[in-house]
Amino acid sequence: MMRIPTYRFSGWLVLLLSLITTPAWSFPPIHHQLQIELEPSTRFAKIEDTIRFKTPPENCAFYLHADLKVDKVPEGWQIKTSPGLKKIEFVNKGSAPCPETLTLNYSGILHDPSLDPDDSADPSSFFFSGESYFYPQSRAGLVTFEMRVSLPDPWQAVSQGQRLDEHLSEKRQIVSWKSSNPSEEIYLIGNQFQIYEAEHHGLSLYAYLLQKEDALAEQYLETAKSYIEFYSKLIGPYPYEKFALVENSRQTGYGMPSFTLMGSRIIRFPFILHSSYPHEILHNWWGNGVFPDPEQGNWSEGLTAYLADHLLLELKGKGASYRFQEMMKFLNYVHEENDFPLSAFAYRDSMASQAIGYAKLLMVFHMLRAEVGDENFLKGLRKFYQTSKYRYAGYEEMRQLFEAVSGQNLKGFFEQWIKRKGAPEIRLEQASYVSLEGRYDLKLTVGQASPAFKLKLPIAIWTSGSSLGEIHHIILDTEVRDFNFQLSSEPVAVRLDPYNDVFRRLGAKEVPASIGQTYGAKTVTVLLPENEERDYLKFAQSVAKPERIFSGGENISYPEGSLWVFGKDHPLRKIFTEQLKKLGVVVTEKGIRLHDKSYPWDNHSFVFTLPREDQKKGTMSWVVAGSAESVPGLMRKLPHYGKYGYLVFKGSAPDNRDKGAWPSNPVSMQKVFKDEIPLLLSEQKPLVSFQPFPK
C-alpha cells in the first residue's frame, strides 16, 4: 500500500517558536482581514492585512518573509531584520498598550515552500502557507481570517474554511474565503481548476481538478460523504464548513483544515479512495480539529493512522496482519542510534521517524484500547475531541480524559509508552505440562529483554478436541516470569500475542525477509555486476556509501548487514536461484515463474529479498531491471513497497504486476506440543460494528 505523508508541524512553526519565548498556543487566535492581488506566473502580490487582536498582548511582534516590502510602517512600529524574516515590532511608548487593530500594506514575490530550492517558479500552480510568511505571523499560534483574492481568469484560489463569493471583474477572478474556526496557519493554493460541487447534510463538498473529469470528481465527492458520515458517528461532528479534494500537479498528499491537496498521479490510483483519502479526511478531526501540543509531541499522525489505515482493515478482519506489518517497519528502520520517545515526535522526516510517530503510536493506541476496553476507548476519544476542538492538547489532557471515563490510573501506561523510547523484546523461554488427577498443569516461562516493560500480554492456548485457541492474559513486568495454567484438556500448543496486540520488537526469525529490511539496515553493501548494460550506479549511490559499493564478488566475505545485489547475471544469482526454488519461485534462462505465472526478463523488473546465506545477520535484495529506463522508477517506487519480499514490475514506468510477502514463523513466540490440529483463532471484534460503506 502506498503511504502518503502528511505533515502537521512545518518548519515555519519551529522557526517562529525559536524566535519567541512565550508558547504560541497560550494566546487566543488573532484575526486577519486579507486583500490580495496576485499574479500567479511571477508569484508577485500586493497585500493589505488588517490584524485584530481579541486580547492584545503586552508586547507585540509580527514576522513577514524578508522578500516582502512594507509600503509604510505605521506609527509606533519599526522593522527589524531577522535571519530569513522581517520582524515588525510595536515600540511601546510609555504605557501605551499594543493596539487592538493594525493595518499593513506590503508587496513582493511570495515564497512557495513546496518548490524545490533550485526552482525559482512553477507557472502552473502556487502553494502558500504559514511557511511562506505571506501574512504577518505573531506568537498567537492560532488564526481566523477573511481573505479576498484577485487573480487573472481562469485561475482559481483555494483556502480553508467557507467560500463566500466568486465572480469575474474586469477579466480577473475574485474569490473570497472565510475561516471562523481557529487554525494553525493560513493556506492559499491556486491553479486553473475545474470545480465540482456537492452538498451533504448542509456541508459543502468540492473537487478542484486540473481537467474536466466528471466520473473522477463524482467518485471523490461520493466517497467523501461516506467517510465524513462514518467519522462524525465515530468521533463527533465534522469541524469545518466544507471539505474539498484539491488536485496538485506536484505529487503531494497533504491534509489541511477542510481540504486535502493530493497529487495528480496519486488520486488516479483506485486504492487511494479507501486508504490515503480517508486518512486525510480524518485529519480534520485529529491534527486540524484538535491541535497537538508541540511541547508534548505530535499524537495526531498515530491516532489518525489507527482510526483510518488500521480501523478500515480491522473492519475487514485484517487488523492483526496490519499490526504485524507496522511492527515490521519499526524493526526494519529503527535502531539505537535513531530511536527517540513518542514525546519527541513532531513530523515524519525519515523512514525511522515514520515508524515511530505512525507505526509505534498506532500500536500504543491499540494497547490503550485493550487497557480501558472498547466502550471506554470510544468515550475517551469523543470526550477528547469535544473538549479540545480548535485548541492545543497533548498526551496529558488525553490521559486525564481516559482516566475519567475508565476510572483507571493510566499514569504508568503513558509514562512508559510516550516518554520511554524503545520496544520490548518478548520470547517464550519454556513451555511444558504434566497430567495430574484428571487435569493438566501447563507451565510457561516468558522472558523479555532488559530493562523490562510492563505488559498486558495475551496468550492463546490450544487443547485437544478444539482447533480454536482460548485467549488468556498475563502481566509481564520482569525480565523472566513463570505462569501456570490448570486445564481440563491436554494442551496442544501455546502462542504469545497471537493477534499482534502488543507493540514489540519482532524476533529476527519471526519476521520474513523484506525489502524494507535492506533499506533500513545500519550497514549496507552494494554488489554491482561487472558487465551489465543497465545503469545501476545511481541506484547504488542512493542506498550505500561510496566505500561500500563493489563490482562482482562471488567469493568475497562481507560484514554483517544487508546486501544489494544488482543484475540478472550477477555471480550471486545461483544463491538466489537455490533459495527461491525452495519458496516456489523458479528462475530460468527465459525469466521468472511465480504463482503459476511466467514473467520474461525482457521488459520486466524483479526484486527478491531473502535472508543472507552466510550465517551473518542481514538480508540480501536482488534487483534486476528490465531496462536502463526503468531504473529511476524503481529507485522512486521501491521504498513504498517495504513490507514485501518479492516484486515484479513491467515497462519503463515501471508498473507493479505482482508482489507478496514470504511466510512468517512465530518460532520465538510459540510452542507446539502435538502437530495434530490446525491452530485457529476466533475473529477479533472490531472497534465499531458500523461501516463507512454499509454492506
> 73-124 pLDDT, tens per residue?
888 888 888 778 899 887 766 556 778 888 999 999 999 988 876 555 567 8
Task: State yes or no: pLDDT of 5 exceeds 60.
Answer: no
Give percent above pLDDT 90 in the chain. 76
pLDDT in tens, 262-305: 999 999 988 999 999 999 999 999 999 999 999 999 999 999 99
Domains, the chain: 29-248 (2.60.40.1730), 291-419 (1.10.390.10), 426-509+668-672 (2.60.40), 515-660 (3.30.379)
Contact 594, 658 (CB under 8 A): yes
From the list 684, 681, 677, 685, the residue with the least C-alpha distance to 468 is 681
Across the range 468-480, mean pLDDT stands at 97
- Cα three-residue angle 40-11-104, rounded to 5 degrees: 55
What's the number of CA atoms in the CB half-sphere (13 Å) around residue 458?
Answer: 16
Q: 86 near 65, Cβ under 8 Å?
A: yes
Q: By the 8 A CB rule, do 39 and 155 touch?
A: no
pLDDT of res. 596: 86
List all residues 6 or more positions away from 582 whose beta carbon is below 8 Å from its beta carbon: none
Q: Is 325 a residue whose pLDDT tops 90?
A: yes
- Residues written for the chain: 695
Please, which residues bridge with residue 53 across strands?
A: 30
Cα–Cα distance for residue pair 354/251, rounded to 1 Å: 19
- Percent of the chain's residues with pLDDT above 70: 92
10 has pLDDT over 50: no
On the question of pLDDT at 223 being above 80, the answer is yes
